[in-house]
Amino acid sequence: MTAALTAILVGCGSGGEDLPPEAGTAVSQAQARNLYVRKCSLCHGDDGKLGASKSPDLSTSALTFSERVALITYGKGTMPGQKGILQKEEIAAIARYIELFRE
């Protein structure tokens, strides 16, 4: 019985291990925007193009979603990492929100 239930759950995608980062997230785009404004816009600007403190223009970034998540999580240069400050779902939401800046 347990094996059958496990097979059904895995077959339906309820295992969760292989789900993409955006699956099941509870962070709305509006919340992601608020997080971005609070944590990122000082250097990157509201549209990602500000470039303060030598920050890159996010509208021309070629980073993948996973690379953006890693960069937000661990930081780089003068950009502080958000691991332990933001939840994984919030970091993923910001990484998705930044895609809106691409030209």
Q: Tell me the pLDDT tens digit for each residue of 29-45.
A: 999 999 999 999 999 99
The domains found in the chain, sorted by start residue, are: 26-101 (1.10.760.10)
- Dist. CA 61–CA 58, nearest whole Å: 5
The percentage of residues in the chain with a pLDDT greater than 90, rounded to a whole number, is 74
Mean pLDDT confidence for 71-100: 97
pTM listed for this prediction: 0.75
Residue 93 pLDDT greater than 80, yes or no = yes
- Dist. CA 63–CA 43, nearest whole Å: 18
| Measured CA angle at 82 (ends 94, 22), to 5 deg | 35
Bridge partner list, 90? none
Q: Which pLDDT band, with edges at 50, 70 and 90, does 25 fall under?
A: low
CA torsion sign for 83, 85, 91, 97 is negative
- Dist. CA 20–CA 101, nearest whole Å: 21
